[in-house]
Amino acid sequence: MRLVIIGAGFAGMYAALSAARLRDIKGVSPDELEIALVAPEPTLVVRPRLYEPKPETMTAPLLDVLNAVDVVYVQGSAETVDTKSRMVQVATAKGTRKTLSYDRLVVATGSRLFRPNIPGLAEYGFSVDSLEDAVALDKHLHGLADRPAASGRDTVVVAGGGFTGIEAATEMPPRLRAILGKGAKPRVIIVERNPAIAPDMGEGPRPVIEEALRKVGVETRVGVGVASLDKSGVTLSNGDQIETETVIWAAGIRAAPLTQQIPAERDNFGRLLVDPCLRVPKVSGVFATGDAARAACDDDGNYALMSCQHATRMGAFAGNNAAAELLGVPTKPYHQKAYVTCLDLGEAGALFTRGWERTVEMVGEVAKKTKQEINGVWIYPPKPERAAALASADPEQVTKL
């Protein structure tokens, strides 16, 4: 029997670990149940850290931990999924192709930035969404130091005033000062189409965010969008122009394209709708998880967000359940009642909220310590020691905040 997991992000990593955990608990050998993880690289890209300096360092190796729990790593990108014949075709970086049959499939292909068809965006827009994008932005920022000082050089426009946009923007003043020199006066402007910043965070935390933005000198332009970009700046939907050489697009993500090959219902973000055990209904043998899935996380009408916090736990449930079906064990409905947010606010510290109503629990330096712990420790893969790695993936214990 073979369980194939596509994607080695937070969801895919925990799907593999938790499937291996259940196989181990049931005393089944890797020869009887093969668990294969397909991903372009055997590394975890620590996406929540890509707004920080040195983005090229934001990866963690996975091969040793996969080997420690007898998960087979298959290098490549899943190009096609045929759910009728239960086959996945994988393209390798060398241009070769191989076909993997599966008895159960876990789609954990995550998400990627959605770039609308705005003139100039593809050519001039940067982002902090993928490792490649974040590294390209960092290289561009360092290159600014060699350019003549002008208002456009020292100005960064961040399009999108949600979670990612705020983190990218508040990190920017010290990043730019480090690159351009202490005397530089960088200008950072968030452009947000909604009438208020952090539209999804609600009224409670907003004053903390607005105060932090003031403190770190990040300006906001709300109620307007970016209409076009060119070499020297952006034009806003109200006709205003901002001279800038750096526009960071942070206005929305969508599920990765592979989800479109699964013949099933998807939401507006392209996420596959799943049942409580994270199965894709009516597509036999297929589970979806993490940013690729839309799953209810409680009985109160809350749905998992495209977040590391949800992806990690959903991954553990999906892997467990896919293995459970093959091992003849009952599956476990995914549930995740606790929900917190921890928003980095640069030199103004951070903001920690609890619950779906986002009650402010910590601000400033105290919250920043928690953010540093989340970003520097909690979200990294477990050590490559078999017992510890398997134990870390108990679905009931993963991301229990």
The contact set with ligand FAD (CB under 6 A) reads 6-12, 38-40, 45, 47-48, 50-51, 77-78, 108-111, 128-129, 164, 167, 256, 258, 290-291, 306-309, 311
Q: How far is the CB of 125 from ligand FAD (least distance, A)?
A: 15
Q: Which residue is nearest to ligand FAD (CB)?
A: 9
> CB-wise, 130 or 228, nearer to ligand FAD?
130
> CB-wise, 187 or 313, nearer to ligand FAD?
313
Q: How far is the CB of 196 from ligand FAD (least distance, A)?
A: 20
Q: How far is the CB of 19 from ligand FAD (least distance, A)?
A: 15
- In what order do the strands lie in the sheet containing 226-230? 226-230, 233-236, 241-243
Q: How far is the CB of 264 from ligand FAD (least distance, A)?
A: 17
* Helix, strand counts (H, E) of the chain: 9, 25
Task: State the residue for tokens 């191989």.
Answer: 98
Tokens (6 digits) for 141: 């920022």
Name every residue whose Cβ is closer than 8 Å to that of residue 205 and which is 6 or more positions away in sequence.
198, 341, 343, 351, 353, 358, 360
SS3 177: helix
> CB-wise, 12 or 152, nearer to ligand FAD?
12
Q: How far is the CB of 127 from ligand FAD (least distance, A)?
A: 8
> CB-wise, 253 or 389, nearer to ligand FAD?
253
Q: How far is the CB of 241 from ligand FAD (least distance, A)?
A: 27
> CB-wise, 138 or 291, nearer to ligand FAD?
291
Name every residue whose Cβ is closer than 8 Å to that of residue 301 and which is 6 or more positions away in sequence.
none
Q: How far is the CB of 133 from ligand FAD (least distance, A)?
A: 9
- In what order do the strands lie in the sheet containing 87-91? 77-82, 87-91, 97-101
Cα–Cα distance between 338 and 335 in angstroms, integer? 9
Q: How far is the CB of 45 from ligand FAD (least distance, A)?
A: 6
Cα–Cα distance between 336 and 77 in angstroms, integer? 30
SS3 166: helix
> CB-wise, 77 or 228, nearer to ligand FAD?
77
DSSP designation for 303 = B
Neighbours of 365 (CB within 10 A): 10
Name every residue whose Cβ is closer than 8 Å to that of residue 360 and which is 6 or more positions away in sequence.
204, 205, 208, 351, 352, 353
> CB-wise, 110 or 381, nearer to ligand FAD?
110
Cα–Cα distance between 117 and 119 in angstroms, integer? 6
Task: State the residue for tokens 């993997």.
Answer: 100
> CB-wise, 128 or 280, nearer to ligand FAD?
128
